[in-house]
A = this chain, B = another copy of it.
């Protein structure tokens, strides 16, 4: 028995040793070998090798990541939009007038074409009704509670389980190589803060996003921040380099996006002297996730794909490049 136990122990040790060795040699195990994986690894190797002509000191290793469609799922509708619709339904009993008022009527009746007809004005009204009128901490708490139970209509998993495993590996890999990783999203900054530290290991001060106006005042003798129904900043398209400058104060050397909303961030990052990395995640896998492309309603990427060839960005073909899409369920 003793011999057999020793043999098992040796085997277990060996297995551990092998898996550690593999993890050390392959920082991106969920990526198939191919041009996308090679481009990411080559970039990180080049800018971190002392003495390399492409060496970048750690203090300037800034990498920015779009969120929706780049770090987690964005179909069939943006997760934050699903949250807003759910909040309208939850708040409806306090607003009997919504039964007869657009765009709320459309939400309550599930009439998506009437909702689409309400356009941007309708969207702003829904954001005002569901995202304003409370302190930021209370808003984040509401989002956390929703994320704890709400499920994606097709995958029937919580949204936090629908982050992209290969991108989690990129975040970890870049941080292990001295990068500071930031989210730069068109989505709401406080919405993302509600889960980004837990899901991506990115702290609240490294989130750049759209925001509504927040006001400081004393209420009942206590200092209070309060969210107002008024747009403060739109961190999308040409707003992304502006948001990056305001929050980060350095020009990124790597940027990851998936749609035309990321076009200017990718240009701002890569159209500069020196070694740069631009990555466009292309959703090509209808079976394991979604396939969408030019002219899609959510996440269209006409200009980003055109620019990718001009600016030599790396296009990730999800079907070809990713072994797995979502993390394995615990």
Contacts and interface: CB of A to CB of B under 8 A. Distances in A.
A205 B238 contact: no
A3 interface: no
Contacts of A223: 241, 264, 267-268, 271
A216 B238 contact: yes
A138 to B, nearest CB: 13
A211 interface: yes
A222 B180 contact: no
A128 interface: no
B268 A216 contact: yes
Contact of A247 (B137, B205, B271): B205
A131 interface: no
Contacts of A190: 249
Interface string A115-138: 000000000000000000000110
Interface in A296-326: none
Nearest to A232: B246
Nearest to A193: B249
Interface in A238-276: 238-239, 241-242, 245-251, 264, 267-268, 271
Interface string A196-214: 0100000111110001001
Given A189-B249, A214-B245, 5 more contacts: A180-B205, A203-B249, A204-B249, A216-B238, A217-B238
A205 B268 CA distance: 17
Interface centre among A215, A216, A251 (most CB of B within 10 A): A216
28 contacts: A59-B203, A136-B249, A180-B205, A182-B205, A189-B249, A190-B249, A203-B249, A204-B248, A204-B249, A204-B250, A205-B205, A205-B206, A205-B247, A205-B249, A205-B250, A207-B249, A214-B242, A214-B245, A214-B246, A215-B242, A216-B238, A216-B241, A223-B241, A223-B264, A223-B268, A223-B271, A225-B242, A225-B268
Contacts of A216: 238-239, 241-242, 264, 268
Contacts of A267: 223
Interface residues of A, number: 37
Contacts of A217: 238
Interface string A175-186: 000001010000
6 closest residue pairs by CB, A with B: A204-B249, A216-B238, A216-B241, A223-B267, A205-B248, A223-B268
Interface string A73-105: 000000000000000000000000000000000
A251 B59 CA distance: 25
Contacts of A193: 249
Given A205-B206, A206-B205, A216-B268, A225 B241 contact: yes
